[in-house]
Amino acid sequence: MAVTQRPQRPKSAKDVVVFDYGFGNVRSAERALARAGAHVEITRDYDRAMNADGLLVPGVGAFAACMAGLKEARGDWIVGRRLAGGRPVLGICVGMQILFSRGIEHGVEAEGLDEWPGTVGPLKADVVPHMGWNTVEPPQDSRLFAGVDPGARFYFVHSYAAHGWELQAHNPALKPPKVTWSTHGERFVAAVENGPLWATQFHPEKSGDAGAQLLTNWIETL
């Protein structure tokens, strides 16, 4: 009897874990990463998340709730240890916001992962949430936005944001962080490239061809 073998992934495919801590569009992220050429697994397993080539931390909902869920799944330890070893991490939406020192929602302050100084707070705009397509302002030497049309639009869904950027690279041997901005009522941080830690406020997995190019760019750095 003939044995049917499972198709094997290309040897060059990078292993990416979408961290499943209960607060994110994990299936959308999984499909988008797979289309970009990665071998993707959705899990909260500590060893797999630690040893993957890349770790994606999604996030949907309130800052404090996402932080509580991440800590319950030991995600705070995983992110910290990966970054200490120079291993790539990508945060999306609230998965980016919790990388800052703290977040304030409805007057309640919650601690973040403190990878970057600064506070995530309410957007000051006529229409909130900021939901839909918008342009961004990346730096010219951005690797994240390489190959992306300058007028490309990305899909946002959020009511809170980081309104400023406080971290500066004082060591000349280190590359300074690259910060991308967008505007909805006021300017806010739309994306960051900081060594092995990259993040976007928008959803690349829902941003069509431009978002697919971003994910491809990230995977190529792994």
Query: Catalytic residue among 130, 158, 184, 203, which?
Result: 203
Active site residue 205: yes
Catalytic residue among 66, 93, 158, 184: 93
- Residue 193, SS3 per DSSP: strand
105 and 63 in contact (C-beta within 8 Å)? yes
> What burial class does residue 133 get, using C-beta atoms within 10 Å of its C-beta: 0-12 exposed, 13-18 middle, 19+ buried?
middle
- Whether 93 is catalytic: yes
203 in catalytic set: yes
- Tokens representing residue 79 in the block: 């992110």
Q: Which residues are catalytic?
A: 93, 203, 205
